[in-house]
């Protein structure tokens, strides 16, 4: 394994951020893994992510002798890609990983009613719940001999 010459790269300009160096991080929990070499680079990120109330927090990168990439969460990952069958990749087929929730509507509801923010991962979790409940409701409709899903099937 090659020895690291820098800690991480800036999320905006991709400039290398060295060891034992001051850097900026977004205070929003879903953006905490992104680091920025300066407040100016963080400012470029902010409007893109559409944060309503956020700021840059100053931190210091680890010293080279204390750095362990596996603990950083920024270690290299290997992603395995499997071939899809023609049936599952055909146009119009149900995608089991597609988000079914309208994020903007849910986020606005949570903000208006509870004055809380909503993590992006919530949409995926709710989509799984919606799929599970829909599958159960479809079984109820089928057991009654119907081909139409109705509101009463969800009760």
pLDDT at 155: 85
Nearest-angstrom CA–CA distance, 31 and 49: 9
**Contact at 8 Å (CB) between 6 and 26?**
no
Contacts of 29 (CB under 8 A, 6+ apart): 119
Q: What are the average pLDDT values for consecutive 10-residue runs of the chain, which has 155 residues?
A: 81 91 87 86 79 84 78 51 48 66 87 90 89 93 93 91
Pair (66, 116) in one structural domain: no
Look at residue 44 and tell me if it is in a domain.
Answer: yes
Look at residue 25 and tell me if it is in a domain.
Answer: yes
Look at residue 54 and tell me if it is in a domain.
Answer: yes
Look at residue 117 and tell me if it is in a domain.
Answer: yes
pTM of the model: 0.44
Q: Which residues of 16-45 are buried (b: 16+ CB within 10 A; e: fewer)?
A: ebebeeebbbbebeebeebbbbbeebbeeb
pLDDT in tens, 102-132: 888 888 899 999 999 988 788 888 989 999 9
The total domain count for the chain is 2
Which domain covers residue 31, as residue numbers? Answer: 8-72
Look at residue 79 and tell me if it is in a domain.
Answer: no
Domain boundary among 49, 72, 95: 72
pLDDT at 21: 92
pLDDT at 72: 61
């Amino acid at each position: 394994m090659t020895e690291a010459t820098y800690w991480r790269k800036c999320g905006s300009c991709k400039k290398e951020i060295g060891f034992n160096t001051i850097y900026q991080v977004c205070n929003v929990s879903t953006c905490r893994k992104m680091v920025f070499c300066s407040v100016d680079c963080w400012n470029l990120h902010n409007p893109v992510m559409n944060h309503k109330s956020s700021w840059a927090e100053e931190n210091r990168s680890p010293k080279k002798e204390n750095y362990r990439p596996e603990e950083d969460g920024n270690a290299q990952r290997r992603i395995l890609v499997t071939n899809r069958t023609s049936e599952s990749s055909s146009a119009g087929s149900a995608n089991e990983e597609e988000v079914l929730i309208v994020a903007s509507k849910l986020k606005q509801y949570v903000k208006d009613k509870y004055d809380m923010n909503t993590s992006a991962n919530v949409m995926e979790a709710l989509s799984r719940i919606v799929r599970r409940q829909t599958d159960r409701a479809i079984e109820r409709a089928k057991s009654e001999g119907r081909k139409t899903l109705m509101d009463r099937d969800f009760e």
